[in-house]
Structure 1
Amino acid sequence: MSVTTLDARSSHILDNPAWAALTGPHAHFAERIGHAARYHQDVAPFYAVADEDDPRAWTDLATLVGPGGTASVRGVTQAPQGWEVVRTGHGVQLVDTFVRAEPDADAVRLGPDDVPEILDLVARTEPGPYLPRTVELGTYLGIRHRGRLIALAGERLHPPGWTEISAVCTDPGHRGRGLATRLVRAVAAGIKERGERPFLHAAASNANAIGLYESIGFTLRRRTVFSLVRHTGAAALEETA
């Protein structure tokens, strides 16, 4: 797999996209304490800190999750005092460089009434976390076959000027027909119409997905680490004393 890496300095807001979203366009979905924030727990499972090297952020995150609580955060491989890393996953972040965005006549806008069907498709295809109110984060489009939802893509993180394309999935019985490509282009069309730029994330091990996104016109910007961390109840509060 051949990829081109962009200069990270050109899109620095994407170095911490969840924080930028939770303190910006998605602030109405946020629960925030000082330097830490999370989405409402029925919207998305993501947490963020303003700076993972700032002890104050971890103190605030500890208050947010409580003793024994867990948080899914970006960029942490070694937890600070009072925390432990439960598991870590590696991913990639890609940005639009030459995506041919175009609406799709077969794509339908999905809403709260479609959530049971969305959750069923997500459970069968596992594109990533999707919760009962995730649909409220942005535009979600689907393609149906004989009335049944068979493909999905939509908008998730929303840092200023950018929108993440997420939940890209196709029913196993309908793969190989280019449905995912069509939906990604259709979602990208709506993003670009607002004057914003699409980006997305994928598991580093998912070469097929990365190859698909590159063929559509996305370029690797950076490699990422996501960790599930647990607060052990012994945070170094003296740092903020």
Structure 2
Amino acid sequence: MDLQDTPSVEPLHVSAREADLPPNGSDTAEAFSGFDASLDNPAWSSLTGHHADLAIGNELVRRFPEDVSPFVGIKDWDHPDVWDAILEVFGHGASVGVSHADPLLPEGWAPVFSIPGVQLVQTERVRARPDEEAVELGAADVEDMLALTERSRPGPFLPRTHVLGRYVGIRRAGRLIAMAGERLHPAGWTEISAVAVDEDHRRQGLASRLVLDVAFGIQQRGDRALIHAAATNTSAITGYEKLGFALRRRLTFGAVRTP
């Protein structure tokens, strides 16, 4: 089994009314039983917790540096000052990633795109384990990581995205052919992202192996793993479910442009 996690953008906020609660007695019910409010707003939890030292913003809106990640944390979409707070952080004419069921944009704001997505979480069925072929990736590997993500397009990966957490990869004949790593760190959880495999090395199970390696590191710290993916990426979602991840909720990925 191989995975290719290729969402165009991933969620920054999910309101409670967007939740697609699973039925009792299913794997999704098992996942949902591990409910944690930080999963409803993972970027905000990350930017005010584990990644607070990277955060730029104010009391309602936080973002990462532009060379780290495009994702945004919003404390409360229902706050009367939230749109002014976004404008304060991003300025005029900026594209801002948001995830909201059906935001009522103020005058002058414009939607950029909106696509359906899913949030998957680790269950007891995930058999996380280190991979013998995986190597740790860091600052010295950034050029190769950028090249691989440019070829395979697993989602946003920038020159300093690697500072968000642990990244691992597989090299053969000196070439980086597969990678995966950590991104958002909401309290008690860590997001697995940047799952990328070169085209000529797919269908070898490399992505699955690296996902389980990253999940092992997360588990060793006492956290659980989560994954976000575009709902249209059904092959990757099926692969994650076979590894033991389960749907927690459906949500919307999107972006708006400031006036």
More off after superposition, 114-123 vs 79-88: 79-88
With structure 2 as the length reference, what TM-score do the two structures score? Answer: 0.85
In the alignment, does 2:219 pair up with 1:196?
no
Name the SS for the 1:149 alignment partner.
strand
CA contact (8 A) 1:77 1:227 kept: no
**Alpha-carbon distance in structure 2 between the residues aligned to 1:160 and 1:12:** 9
CA contact (8 A) 2:62 2:72 kept: yes
1:84 — aligned with what? 110
1:5 — aligned with what? 28
**Alpha-carbon distance in structure 2 between the residues aligned to 1:76 and 1:62:** 20
2:119 — aligned with what? 93
CA contact (8 A) 2:101 2:251 kept: no
- 1:38-117 alignment runs, 5 A limit: 38-82=63-107, 83-97=109-123, 98-117=125-144
1:235 — aligned with what? none
Question: Which amino acid in 2 is paired with 1:52?
Answer: W
Name the SS for the 1:225 alignment partner.
strand
Matching residue within 129, 151, 154 for 2:181: 154
**Alpha-carbon distance in structure 2 between the residues aligned to 1:90 and 1:188:** 25
Sequence identity percentage: 50
**Alpha-carbon distance in structure 2 between the residues aligned to 1:9 and 1:151:** 31
2:255 — aligned with what? 228
Relative to 1, partners in 2 of residues 1:174 and 1:204: Cα closer, same or farther, differing over 3 Å?
same
Unaligned stretches of 5+ residues in structure 1: 233-241
More off after superposition, 78-87 vs 110-119: 78-87
Name the SS for the 2:78 alignment partner.
coil
In the alignment, does 2:157 pair up with 1:134?
no
Question: Which amino acid in 2 is paired with 1:63?
Answer: E
Question: Which amino acid in 1 is paired with 2:146?
Answer: L
Aligned residues: 230
**Alpha-carbon distance in structure 1 between the residues aligned to 2:213 and 2:194:** 14
Higher strand share: 1
CA contact (8 A) 1:79 1:85 kept: no
1:179 — aligned with what? 206
**Alpha-carbon distance in structure 1 between the residues aligned to 2:34 and 2:103:** 24
CA contact (8 A) 1:104 1:186 kept: yes
Aligned structure 1 segments of 4 or more residues deviating by more than 4 angstroms: none
Query: What RMSD, in angstroms, separates the aligned Cα atoms of the two structures?
Result: 1.4
Q: 1:55: Cα distance to partner?
A: 2.3
Name the SS for the 1:208 alignment partner.
helix
CA contact (8 A) 1:161 1:196 kept: yes
Unaligned stretches of 5+ residues in structure 2: 1-25
**Alpha-carbon distance in structure 1 between the residues aligned to 2:198 and 2:87:** 39
**Alpha-carbon distance in structure 2 between the residues aligned to 1:215 and 1:29:** 34
Question: Which amino acid in 2 is paired with 1:26?
Answer: H
**Alpha-carbon distance in structure 1 between the residues aligned to 2:187 and 2:34:** 16
Deviations 1:118-167 (A, max 9, x none): 11110111100000000010000000111100001000000111000000
Name the SS for the 2:147 alignment partner.
helix
Name the SS for the 1:121 alignment partner.
helix
**Alpha-carbon distance in structure 1 between the residues aligned to 2:55 and 2:101:** 21
Q: 1:79: Cα distance to partner?
A: 3.8
**Alpha-carbon distance in structure 2 between the residues aligned to 1:65 and 1:77:** 21
Question: Which amino acid in 2 is paired with 1:67?
Answer: H
**Alpha-carbon distance in structure 2 between the residues aligned to 1:96 and 1:224:** 18
